[in-house]
Structure 1
Amino acid sequence: MMEVQNVRTALDRHWAASAAGDQVAEHEIYHDDAVCEYPQSGEIIHGRHNLQALRSHHPGKPSGFVVRRIVGQGNLWVTEYAITYESKPVYTVSIMEFRDGKVLHETQYFADAFAAPAWRAQWVERKIGL
């Protein structure tokens, strides 16, 4: 139980730092030799230093960041969140694998919002915004 609480606390600190733009605190969660994958672009980032440098040089500062939910146990944790860039939400899923309390491997998926088709309106509830 203590390990779960420690990981959850580390994740909460990580996402709060990410939302605040605190690049140092955001990357404390990673092992020095962590690997982060972006499957949609085919990119693999090797090492905490490279990951922090890449994120520090992003040309657009997010104007919003909302964690939707965090679930996990043991060494595998998933966070769903939305980042707003230039008034456009990007829905993101982060899958983190931990070793010794730090992230060894992360995979992130990014998806743009899209208009709901009218044909399924009778079966769905509409949620507006992030």
Structure 2
Amino acid sequence: MHEEKIREALNAHWHASATGDLDAEHDIYDDNAICDYPQSGERILGRINLQALRSHHPEKPSGFDVRRIQGNGNLWITEYTITYEGRAAFTVSIMEFCNDKVVHETQYFSDPFAAPGWRSRWVEQIT
């Protein structure tokens, strides 16, 4: 039952993220949650600061697509794409839960890149 509750919370969180519902988006976080952005070297301390930071983003996403959510116990990973100003960023969110709230999240963002032609005979395109 614990994992079903977490999956429901994650689905609600990502839906709220996609629709811009900042209050519902941040219900998943513990008051003292930590969110790390390793690529920029930033750490956000506390749900209030995380919500404030996200509410001041200069652009609203024009696309948001969850590819998959996987996890068990207290560790859950979501792969998704988020589109700002016509550019998609492939994103991985790693969330650690305690008492059904996120206490630590790490997010990685990467830009798409063109596949080199030399490997085309071994691959197929995904969307």
Q: TM-score per shorter chain, which class?
A: over 0.9
Structure 1, gaps ≥5 residues long: none
> Percent identity over the alignment?
66
Paired residue type of 2:124:
E
Alpha-carbon separation, structure 1, partners of 2:92 and 2:105: 10
2:72 match = 73
Q: Give structure 1 regions of 4+ aligned residues with deviation exceeding 4 angstroms.
A: none
Report deviation, 1:127: 2.3
Alpha-carbon separation, structure 2, partners of 1:54 and 1:31: 16
Report deviation, 1:35: 0.1
2:123 match = 124
Structure 2, gaps ≥5 residues long: none
Tell whether 2:87 aligns with 1:88: yes
Alpha-carbon separation, structure 1, partners of 2:125 and 2:78: 22
SS of 1:37's equivalent in the other structure is strand
1:100 match = 99
Residues 77-102 of structure 1: CA distance to partner in whole angstroms, max 9, x if unpaired?
00000001111110000000000000
Report deviation, 1:126: 1.1
Please show how residues 9-28 of structure 1 align to structure 2 within 5 Å.
9-28=8-27
Further displaced range: 119-128 or 6-15: 119-128
Residues 26-64 of structure 1: CA distance to partner in whole angstroms, max 9, x if unpaired?
000000000000000000000000000000000111000
Alpha-carbon separation, structure 2, partners of 1:11 and 1:62: 18
SS of 1:49's equivalent in the other structure is helix
Alpha-carbon separation, structure 1, partners of 2:24 and 2:111: 27
TM-score, L = length of structure 1: 0.96
